[in-house]
Structure 1
Amino acid sequence: MYHSISPHSLKCYAACKADEYDILGIKKFFKSSDKKFASLEGTIYFSTKEQDSQELVEVFIFYFGSIVIWGASEKKCNEILDNISAFTQGKTQNPSANSEVIECKYIPGVAKGYFNDKKDHLVIPSDNIFTKFSISYAVAQSVKLSFLENSVAKLIKSTHQIQKELSYKGSTSLSKREISKKTGMLFRERYSINLHNDMLDIPEFFWSRPIYEQLYILTAKSQDIQPRQNILNRRLDMMHDLYEMLSNDLSHKHSSRLEMTIIVLIGVEILLNLIHIAVVSM
């Protein structure tokens, strides 16, 4: 395993392009091609090299659709993404829309990691696999959140016309079926986010290795993971309130039409009875 004792900079690239990765499928593929890999808390780790410089490149593939690559050029990152694209599952997005680059500085002798605000990089006390995994997990969570944020942003955009109609007309042209379909889409997004709540928690990996938890928490805070998750849920709550209001409005209109129909039928029945009485009395 690569480990240097001299100070050096490390670049960490992360992207999320799908709902999930088929981890079992990737393992089978690696085994069939005799490629060495390791499984770390359900995450696949493997290393490769840059073709030109022969510098070591280390890769972490997370089941929830994120991938983190250390020490690779942009060309190499794209190559790795292309190689595992066949193992994506669910919705896919352009990875460039959900990607981040973290600069790290390894300085031997530093007691613990910290974020250098002036130089905008993370200082780490070691560059072993556990250190990189700790940082990678937080960055992987961050790009996954970006993936979910983009999905919700598209959903919010689809409600703009509804909001305009409500503003100008006080009602919407959507049918109950259309509102039900949109509500279903909303619940699917909420389910997707809540399904990954365990992914957004602190991994069990740190329960037995608390020395690395500080690095994970430090990176997670720098990515604003918890505040972003709260904002995402608030946006979904607002959209849910909108669709619930529209659904109730349509239900009220349906009830009103039903009542009016009953009144008309009763009126017709009374009229027919009056006509019948008039005819009989002649």
Structure 2
Amino acid sequence: MMLKSNRIMQICNACKGFSTSLLLRNRHSYLLLKNSQLQKNEVECVHRSPFFVSLQRACYCSVVDMSQADRVYHAAKRATRKKKSKDAAFKDKMFDVMAYSTADKYNLLTLREKLKEQGLYGYVPLPSDMSEEALHVESLYGVEEEPRGIFFFKDGATVFWNTPQVERSSVLKFLRRHQEKPYDEDLVYEEYDRMHYVYQIGSSQLNGDEILLRQVVDKTDLNTQRLEKYAFSNALALSVSLSIWEAMLDQYVESIEFILQDLKDGKNIKMTERDVLRKAGHLLTLRHLINLRSDLLDPPDAYWDREDLESIYIKTCQYLDIARRTRVMNEKLNHCTELMTMLQELLKDKHHTRLEWMIIILIMIEVRLYLKLIIPLRDGRAKNDHSIRSNIKDGMVM
């Protein structure tokens, strides 16, 4: 029994040393990968295998039964690490594309100058007809092979390619100094569009919610890939701007629901003519943004002589359901416009009725004054005339 106990203690001591060595290696690898995780935001520690956990539990027991130790060891040995499936390996190569709409408009000239002063992003030239509508930059300091790029569109939308959340928040905060008529911050972070992209050999295309981006082989492919990124980003920017306008219209509809309830209950309208004009102005602004200033109805002019980019843009817009959403929003705007027109007519009728009553009251006042002042005066004059005539007659008789 003594020999068996000594044998057990020797095995435990040996296992303790082995597990300590493995634990140090595990901790060193974990620190290295943790440092890499701070840079890449996607690396996870993979060295915490069930074998180490089971071995450590077995080694720190003071007294163990030999058969039980054998069972624990063999059970730990059988617990092998799971192999990654092809789908998991495929997902590791996927990158995010995030689109936000933060304001009504960007000042691209000052934005480009300030980004150049910071020295964190490099300007990527675009064709002249595209550079008037958007600004493309890429990060000068890469933490991985895949570059991080950003598209700033003049209409107030920003599209991030392979950009982590912390960097996105920093850029959106930086944009506040270079935008006009900013949107509500909570609304900006709530209404966003997200897609994924992977690389493939051949031309870029859209597959469901995944962007299959062409693999760069030479400089020509790089320039073509950037133009294709622009087409995808343009559609995403348009979609996220439409999402903001949809949310604004929903808020508008909620703000006028009490009017419909008052009309239904036969109550008086609790809005002045000035309030109705302000509400109508909001509707006209949304209608102007959707139908006149944006490209929701027709593709931009930049794609007229670039059929491949136009195809990417149109297919992405179709996937994002932009045409149907635009049609639905215009129908909602029409209903709201009809309501505002009806309110204006009711207020005008009410105003006309008020004027008519004022005229009637003035006429009544005039009649009363006439009855109270003019008629007695007239009667007094008649009496005076009668007395004068009587006096004249008396004088003639005498």
Q: Is the 8 A contact 1:15 1:96 kept in 2?
A: yes
| Residue 344 (structure 2) aligns with | 247
SS in 2 for 1:208: coil
For residue 19 of structure 1, what is the aligned residue in structure 2? Answer: 104
Q: What amino acid does structure 1 have at the position aligned with 2:238?
A: Q
Q: CA RMSD in A?
A: 2.5
Moved more, 174-183 or 270-279: 270-279
Match of residue 147 from structure 2: 56
TM-fit CA distance, 1:63: 0.7
Q: In the alignment, does 2:238 pair up with 1:141?
A: yes
CA distance in 2 between counterparts of 1:38 and 1:56 reads 12
Relative to total residues, which structure has the larger strand share, 1 or 2?
1
Q: Identity, % of aligned pairs? A: 25
Q: Which amino acid aligns with 2:205?
A: G
How far apart are the structure 2 equivalents of 1:244 and 1:114? 43
Paired positions, count: 272
Which residues of 2 match residues 158-237 of structure 1 at below 5 A?
158-198=255-295, 201-237=298-334
Structure 1 residues 200 and 56: CA distance shift in structure 2, 3 A: farther
Give deviations 1:129-185, integer Å, cap 9, x for gaps: 111111111011001111211222222121122222222234312122222222233
> Whose helix fraction is larger, Structure 1's or Structure 2's?
2
The unaligned stretches of length 5 or more in structure 2 are 1-89, 217-224, 381-398
| Residue 45 (structure 1) shift | 0.8
Q: Following TM superposition, where does structure 1 have runs of at least 4 consecutive aligned residues deviating by more than 4 angstroms?
A: 49-52, 124-127
| Change in CA separation of 1:112 and 1:57 when aligned onto 2, cut-off 3 Å | closer
**1:73-107 Cα distance to aligned partner (Å, 9 max, x none):** 22232233233332121132322122111122332
Q: Identify the residue that residue 28 of structure 1 maps to in structure 2.
A: 113
| Greater Rg over alpha carbons, structure | 2
CA distances 1:239-265 after superposition (whole Å, capped 9, x unpaired): 121121111111111111211221222
Unaligned runs of 5+ in 1: 1-6
Partner of 2:195: 102
Out of 256, 263, 268, the residue aligned to residue 353 of structure 2 is: 256
Distance 1:50 1:12, change over 3 A: farther
- Cα offset, 1:125, TM superposition: 4.7
Distance 1:122 1:33, change over 3 A: closer
- Of 162, 167, 170, which aligns to 1:79? 170
1:3 matched to which residue of 2?
none
1:10–1:106 contact (8 Å) kept in structure 2: no
Partner of 1:69: 160
Match status 1:155 vs 2:252: yes
Q: Does 1:113 align with 2:195?
A: no
Q: Distance in 2 between matches of 1:56 and 1:176?
A: 55
1:123 to 167, 192, 212: 212
Preserved contact between residue 296 and residue 323 of structure 2 (Cα < 8 Å): no
Q: Partner letter of residue 16 of structure 1?
A: S
Q: Which moved more, 1:40-49 or 1:18-27?
A: 40-49
Distance 1:20 1:258, change over 3 A: same
How far does the alpha carbon of each residue in 1:210-260 deviate from its partner, in whole angstroms, 9 at most, with x for none?
A: 122111111010111122122222222221211211111111111112112
Q: SS at 1:133's partner residue?
A: helix
State the TM-score, normalizing by the size of structure 2.
0.62
Residues 62/184 of structure 1: CA separation in 2 closer, same or farther (3 Å cut): same
How far off is 1:57 after superposition?
A: 0.6
Query: In structure 2, what is the Cα distance between the partners aligned to 1:33 and 1:39?
Result: 18
- Change in Cα spacing, 1:84 to 1:259, as seen in structure 2 (3 Å) is closer
- Quickly say closer, same or farther: Cα 1:239–1:269, change in 2 above 3 A: same
State the secondary structure of the residue aligned to 1:72. coil
Q: CA deviation at 1:49?
A: 6.2
Secondary structure at the aligned position of 1:143 is classed as helix
Say which is worse superposed, 47-56 or 151-160, in terms of deviation: 47-56
Q: 1:114 to 1:194 in 2, by over 3 A?
A: closer
